[in-house]
Chain A
Amino acid sequence: MVRVGIPRALLFYQYFPMWHAFFRALGAEVVTTPATTRATLAAGAARVVAETCLPVKIYCGHVLDLVGKADVVFVPSLRSLERDAHHCAKLLGLPDLVRAVVPEAPDVLDVDVDLEKGTLAFYRAIYAVGRRFTWNPLRVKRAAAIAWAAHLRYLDWLQRGAGEAEHDSETGWLNDWHRGLTNVAPLPITIAVVGHAYNLFDAYACHDVLRRLASLGVAVRTPTELPASATRAAIARLVGRAYWACEAELIGAAGCFLDDPAVDALVAVIAFGCAPDSVMMDVVQRYARATGKPVLMLPIDEHTGTAGVATRLEAFVDLLTRR
């Protein structure tokens, strides 16, 4: 059985159940990596140019973790999911980056997802991945259908607040995250945390922002609970059209939360040097000024200290309590 390695980093947090179901349906074994640690980051950071963003360094660390544990490593290149909205260069070039900086990595299994090129090109791309495991196009098609169903189930589960009842192997990793966060008891303050899923749900990368806030007696909300229709409407309100494929996680989510009277303030977790974040935060901060809600911007990189993050969060919550 072919062992497909999927690094626990970047788009893992959005698509793992889908990828997992797809490769399982094709008869492969799926191997993933344990949560990020200091060692993962250090190993990854040693491979790339210093100013590369934290999530990409972490990604390289996870790929290194898969050496010897997987036969192929699945590294997709996501370009666009809708017309005119693209992912950042780092996600586009991820397979090439892995080949260049982690030469000892297992064979890289890449796929170009570019929905702008039309559905036919997309089906071809899926089939090209499936070819690795079977010659039978129908089997690939069936696996893709199973994967899509798994993805929809996962989105639905996220939006319902990621309850514990459905804890299973596919989604267990996120369940851990939401445990204790979804208590909607009437807490005095509600803070929405926005940012890319791979920043928010990687406890090591963001210094446990979500749980740290929860432990300060704050109700925490995250972009995962928002349906795509709501974030799309918020993007239309704030900037017209999405330019980045990840615009929903930052501008979309921030727009929803800033307009939601139940939310008192916003914390934005952004990676230092992240190109889309740097421009999207400008939009978010301008809109926050208009709505009068405070925003705490937390840039993270490998030099960010946990104590620094904790102090800033405490000060921010104190400030909100006094308001």
Chain B
Amino acid sequence: MIITYPHAGDMHIALEVFFREMGVEAISPPPSTARTLALGARLAPEFICVPYKVLLGNLVEALELGADTVLTLGKPSGCRLGYYPRLQQAALRERGYAFRMYALPLMNGSAATAIWQVHRITGVPLRRILRGVALGLPVLRMLDELDRAAHYLRPRERTPGAASKIVRAAKARLREVCDAETLARIRRETFAALDAIPLDRTRAPLKIAILGEFYLVIDPFMSMDLEEELGRRGVEVERNIYLSQWLDFNMFLRALRVPETRTLERLAKPYLRRNISGDGLKSIGGTIRFAQAGYDGVLHLQSFTCAPELMASNIMPLVARDYAIPVLRLVFAEQSNRSGLLTRLEAFLDVLERRRNAQRNTPYATRTEL
């Protein structure tokens, strides 16, 4: 049995560590590229959202490498994501691939059910699976910490690209982690290197929040390296979803009945009174939260024809007006290209820059909001 799974940001790094520690053979799909998307799009229905096409392409490329067991996400409700496994399975079977597919009910289960499922699928004793979790989870947390550090450092570093270089190297090393000591050493060395980056502390970078559909926010391939691009342009970014947070909630907190979105629900209530599936409610609530936290602008990421985000987009102008925060809607499809994205970003950054300068030079009481 050779396990594979579609990409989701840096998830594959933690999963490689997890399966190695469990003693199960697993292959990550090759990094997503234009070929991945083209392969997926060929087998996908035309009007489906772009994450489906990329994920399907990932699976094709992994099956080409010899994987025979696919683990994927199953069953959130109301959004197409829950329908992915059915369609992917049918499309790949039709192409003649032989494999077994298991949809882990991560988004409405708990750690216990997920671990039990992995046990049923692989036949590995629970003790070894827990050992895998005990090593894989800290790796995932460190990956998110690296991203957060990069968000802070990129707009402030004196040598452009220094932080990204260290982060990339650290991520490559994390793939090879096989015990807690190695992980601790990588962590120590990496953060020492990041601390040593010379910073220009006089800069006050624009702060932009990225939110929207899960895959677009966490996966640099799907968002065309949006975070790094913004960092290069001197913007500090923050996003509303991190993989480890997402996993913590779905594996542990839900079982303890901690609501994922109570704060966001409360914030969104005047505009959106119910959960509309997907990440729609989180996009509305998140925009308000970031506005209150003093962010200069929000990038609302969504894939073309994504229903929950489209609903959020229809409501968003009210939020943007009431909280006086500029929101740029960025829609991704397989036809999207980077130059289109960059043009929009440039214009948006110009607006934010001018807006901030105008606010600085105007006494608070007479400020006119954009």
Residues of A within 8 A of B (CB): 48-49, 51-52, 77, 79-80, 84, 86-90, 92-93, 95-97, 100-101, 110, 112, 239-240, 243, 272-279, 281-283, 286, 299
Tell me, yes or no, whether B272 is within 8 Å of chain A by CB: yes
Q: Are B77 and A273 in contact (CB under 8 A)?
A: no
**A97 x B304 contact (CB < 8 A):** no
In the assembled complex, B212 has its CB within 8 A of some CB on chain A? no
Looking at the complex, which of B65-73, B179-187, B305-313, B349-357 is the stretch in contact with chain A?
A: B305-313
Report yes or no: A87 in contact with B78, Cβ–Cβ below 8 A: yes
A283 and B87 contact, CB distance less than 8 A: yes
B191 within 8 A of A: no
Q: Given A86-B77, A89-B280, A283-B90, verify A275-B311 contact (CB < 8 Å).
A: no
A90 touches B87 (CB 8 A): no
Complex formed: what's the CA distance from A77 to B277 in Å?
12
- The answer for the CA separation of A273 and B310 in the assembled complex, in Å, is 10
- Interchain CB contact under 8 A, A275 and B305: yes
| Complex interface: chain B residues within 8 A of A281 (CB) | 45
Complex Cα gap A283–B204 (Å): 52
A-B contact pairs, 18 of them (CB 8 A): A48-B314, A84-B77, A93-B272, A97-B311, A97-B315, A100-B271, A100-B317, A112-B274, A243-B77, A273-B47, A274-B305, A275-B79, A275-B305, A278-B80, A279-B83, A279-B87, A281-B45, A283-B90
Residues of B near any A CB (own CB < 8 A): 44-49, 75, 77-80, 82-83, 86-87, 90-91, 94, 271-278, 280, 304-308, 310-311, 313-315, 317-318, 329, 331
8 Å CB contact of B314 from A49, A95, A275, A286: A49
- Tell me the nearest residue of chain B to A88, going by C-beta: B307
- Pair A100/B45 contact, Cβ less than 8 Å: no
Distance to closest chain A CB from B88 (angstroms) = 10
Contact for A51 among B94, B271, B310, CB less than 8 A? B310
Residue numbers in B under 8 Å from A243 (CB-CB): 77, 82-83, 86
Minimum CB–CB distance for A95 against chain B, Å: 7
State whether A278 touches B78 (Cβ < 8 A): no
List B contacts of A51 (CB < 8 A): 304-305, 310, 331
**In the complex, A276 Cα to B47 Cα: how many Å?**
10
Q: Which B-chain residue is minimally distant from A47 (CB atoms)?
A: B314
Check B80 against A283 for contact (C-beta < 8 Å).
no
Question: In the complex the two chains form, is A286's CB within 8 Å of B90's CB?
Answer: yes
Q: Assess whether B271 is in contact with A278, with CB atoms less than 8 Å apart.
A: no
Contact assessment for B307 and A90 in the assembled complex, using a CB-CB cutoff below 8 Å: yes
The distance from the CB of A36 to the nearest CB of chain B, in whole angstroms, is 20
Given A89-B278, A112-B274, check contact A100 B80 (CB 8 Å). no
CB distance from B97 to the nearest CB of A (A): 15
Check A90–B273 contact: CB distance below 8 A: no
- Which chain B residues lie closer than 8 Å to A240 at the CB level? 86
Knowing A281-B45, A283-B86, say if A100 contacts B307 (CB, 8 Å): no
Residues of A within 8 A of B314 (CB): 48-49, 52, 97, 100-101
> Within the complex, what minimum Cβ distance (angstroms) separates A117 from chain B?
12
Give Cα distance in the complex from A112 to B274, angstroms: 9
Ranked nearest first, the 8 interchain pairs of A and B with the lowest CB-CB distance are A89-B307, A93-B276, A278-B47, A89-B308, A86-B78, A282-B45, A275-B307, A100-B315
Which A residues are CB-close (under 8 A) to B318?
100
In the complex, residue of chain A having the shortest beta-carbon distance to the beta carbon of B77: A86
Q: Are B277 and A86 in contact (CB under 8 A)?
A: yes
A243 → chain B closest CB, angstroms: 6
How far in angstroms is the closest Cβ of chain A from B212? 14
Q: Which residues does chain A contribute within 8 Å of B271, judged by CB atoms?
A: 96, 100
Which residues of A lie under 8 Å from residue B273 when comparing CB positions?
Answer: 95-96, 110
Q: How far is the CA of A16 from the CA of B329 in the complex (A)?
A: 36
Chain A residues contacting B91 (CB-CB under 8 Å) are 282
Give the distance in Å from the alpha carbon of A243 to the alpha carbon of B276 in the complex: 15
Are B274 and A273 in contact (CB-based, < 8 A)? no
Q: Separation in Å of the A20 CB from the closest CB of chain B? A: 25
B313: shortest Cβ distance to chain A, in Å? 5
Output the residue of A79, A277, A282, A283 with the most chain B CB within 10 A: A282
Chain B contacts for A89, CB-based, 8 A: 78-79, 276-278, 280, 307-308, 310-311
Report B-chain residues with C-beta under 8 Å of the C-beta of A101: 314-315
Instruction: Kindly report which residue of chain A lies nearest to residue B45, judged by CB atoms.
Output: A282
Distance (whole angstroms) from the CB of B312 to the closest CB of chain A: 8
Check A92–B90 contact: CB distance below 8 A: no
Nearest residue, chain A, Cβ from B319:
A100
Report B309 CB to chain A, min CB distance, Å. 8
In the docked arrangement, what's the CA distance between A281 and B273, Å? Answer: 31
In whole Å, how far is A33's beta carbon from the nearest beta carbon of chain B? 21
Least Cβ–Cβ distance between A143 and chain B, in angstroms: 24
Q: Which of A52, A96, A110, A299 contacts B272 (CB 8 A)?
A: A96
Nearest opposing residue in chain A for B318, CB measure: A100
Contact of B310 among A49, A79, A86 (CB under 8 A): A49
Tell me, rounded to whole Å, the shortest Cβ–Cβ distance linking A32 to chain B: 24
CA of A275 to CA of B90 in the docked complex: distance in angstroms?
18
Contacts of A274 in B (CB 8 A): 47, 305
> Which A residues touch B83, using CB under 8 A?
243, 279
Q: Across the two chains, which residue of chain A brings its CB closest to B108?
A: A84
The residue of chain B having its C-beta at the shortest distance from the C-beta of A96 within the complex is: B272
Cβ of A275: which chain B residues have Cβ within 8 Å of it?
49, 79-80, 305-307
**Closest residue of A by beta carbon distance from B284:** A96
Assembly CA distance A243 to B318 (angstroms): 32
Query: Most chain-B CB neighbours within 10 Å: which of A52, A89, A274, A286?
Result: A89
For the complex, give the distance between the alpha carbons of A101 and B318 in Å. Answer: 9
A96 to B283 CA separation, bound complex (whole angstroms): 14
With A77-B274, A283-B90 known as contacts, the answer to whether A52 contacts B47 (CB < 8 A) is no
Q: Chain A's nearest CB lies how many Å from the CB of B45?
A: 4
Contacts of A84 in B (CB 8 A): 75, 77
CA distance A87 to B271 in the complex (A): 20
Contact A286 B94, beta carbon cutoff 8 Å: yes
- Complex CA gap A277/B119 in Å reads 36
Give Cα A272 to B273, complex, Å.
27
**Cα A91 to Cα B311 with chains together (Å):** 10
Given A88-B78, A281-B45, A282-B87, the answer on whether A93 and B305 have CB atoms closer than 8 Å is no
Nearest opposing residue in chain B for A116, CB measure? B77
A109 to B213, CA, bound (A): 30
